[in-house]
Structure 1
Amino acid sequence: MPLALASLAFLAAYALRVLAHGLPEAALDLCLAVTLAAWALFAVDYAVRWRLSGQRLGFVRTHWLDTVVLLLPLLRPLRVVKVYEAVQRRHGRPRLALHARVMVYAGLSTALLGFTGALAVYQQEHDAPGATVRTLGDAVWWTCATLATVGYGDVAPVTPLGRLIAVGLMITGLALLGAVTGTFASWLLQVFAREDDEGPPGN
């Protein structure tokens, strides 16, 4: 719960700094302080888990996703992939409630990632020369087209950092959407396998 609240605080402070133009300097400093405090909490959590694991550098290799999320906190929704992997390792009776929770969580995480991606692209692009992403609406439209792998091309980043954010959004978006579809497919396969094992009625 503390990390979830810190994530919300991080996102809210970042969104205010990007969208609320004309904020007083004191308000901007407060948003920056909240962002850094949340980031520090993420770092403390990572350091404690690394210390308790006793793996030293092995922890970084086995928990590479946590390392990426620590460096880029806006990618925290990607951690749902670990939940999906845990569900994939479960066997036995197929539990719709468990799979449904993963699908809902992954769907919400995709929406959250899309919003943060739109914020980041808008911050980099809205005042760049020759940019087509001029408003937050343009950024949201581009993000939806990117996450859906449609790619109309009517709106696209032109700055190097904006394009780097786009690449990250493509990769992480595919991973989250894959978690949704993969979880649903896994549940269906478990249901069909269980029906095959039980055989037709009357046997």
Structure 2
Amino acid sequence: MTRERSELKSIGYEIFIGILSLLSIVNLVLVYAAREQSLDTVLEVMNALFSVIFLADFLYRILTAPSAGAYFFRHFGWADLLASMPFAQLKFLRIFRLIRVYRLLRDVGIRTIGRALSKDRAGSSLYILLLMGIFVLEFGSLTMLRIEQYAPGANITTASDTIWYTIVTISTVGYGDQYPVTGAGRILGTGIIVVGVGIFGTFTGYLANFFLSPKNPAPPVDAAGTGTATVEGLRQRLEESEAKLTEIRKLLAGPTG
């Protein structure tokens, strides 16, 4: 259990990597199930993107692992490295990453996952929007191509056209050289714009929270010192009260003799 916890990064990050691993395996199945040039082109672009993300994930894990050798040789770090390579023969190794994420999250528990995601709302929102951006880049490109490819007057007619349009739109740049001409295509384009604005807005807020939040919180109050000071203060007040009561008794007694 200790080893699993030491391997575990943030909950949101592990879920993000797990979903990307699952999507990459689904893409591998699609490549062999559907023989189509446009689909192959989009999936090749997505595979290149996944390779960069998984390579960065491997470097992050091996640099932060308690033992780099143990992670690489005993905990299937070699599989993570090979799976990050953009070769079709090695993509199946990404299942090891998916199994690891599942095992780690299973050991943590559903309640702990929910509390962690709720506590880190900014990071969770960022991961959700990044996933949405990746899904929109892949499935939005494929859907836009299906809608626009054979429409009269269309200028989005190839896989490269639709990938370029989706990237430009989701990044909120909007060159305007590629644009949908059908109603369904424009509705889909509006959704891509909304997702892009959400990603960059959330990313800006996440960076602001990261840089503006205090790095060194105020040191905790010394409970022992506070308790001692409180006792001394109460003792002093008690003595003052006793002195005043003594004076009151003398006044009430009046002069003697």
TM bucket (normalised to shorter chain) is 0.3 to 0.5
The structure, 1 or 2, with the larger RCO (C-alpha pairs under 8 Å, 6+ apart) is 1
> TM-score under structure 2 normalisation?
0.38
TM-score by length of 1: 0.47
